[in-house]
Amino acid sequence: MPCFTTIDNRLKNIKNRYTGIITKDDIAVVWKQLLSLKEFTLFKYNLLSDYRDSSFEISVKEGDKMLNFLLSIKDILCGKKEAALLKNPKDTALSMLLQMKAYEQAGYEVQLFSTEKAALEWIINMDEN
């Protein structure tokens, strides 16, 4: 699963664009990279994750393990936002489960979108509040 990362200093976000099949191990690699970026950890940049050209191969049980990881970095995530771009209904269902738990348990706000324009508007408008 390739993941292409770009940092937008003007909008203060990090965009990850995924292609192909995504496993929980792939997500772990990307999170390790994110945690090494000062923009993410120190400067509080938000995330724009584009999953439209990919598909999750992650079970609900693996999703719970991913949530446990998010809880372990709660101090970094609290107050951050992630806009997730999705088009596959199966991926949307899994993401909705994680979305609710991530906010309730870690204060990490994730919203799902089908267009990049809507996702960016949400990130920008949320930062202005």
Please report, in tens digits, the pLDDT of each residue of the chain (129 residues total).
789 999 999 999 999 999 999 999 999 999 999 999 999 999 989 999 999 999 999 998 998 888 899 999 999 998 889 999 999 888 888 888 888 888 888 889 999 999 999 999 999 885 554
Domain of 90 in residue numbering reads as: 3-128
Would you tell me how many other CB atoms lie within 10 Å of the CB of residue 76?
A: 17
- Structural domains in the chain (count): 1
Specify the pTM.
Answer: 0.90
The tokens describing 84, both together, are: 């997730």
With a CB cutoff of 8 Å and minimum separation 6, the contacts of 63 are 24, 94, 97, 98
We report the CATH number of the domain holding residue 33 as 3.30.750.24
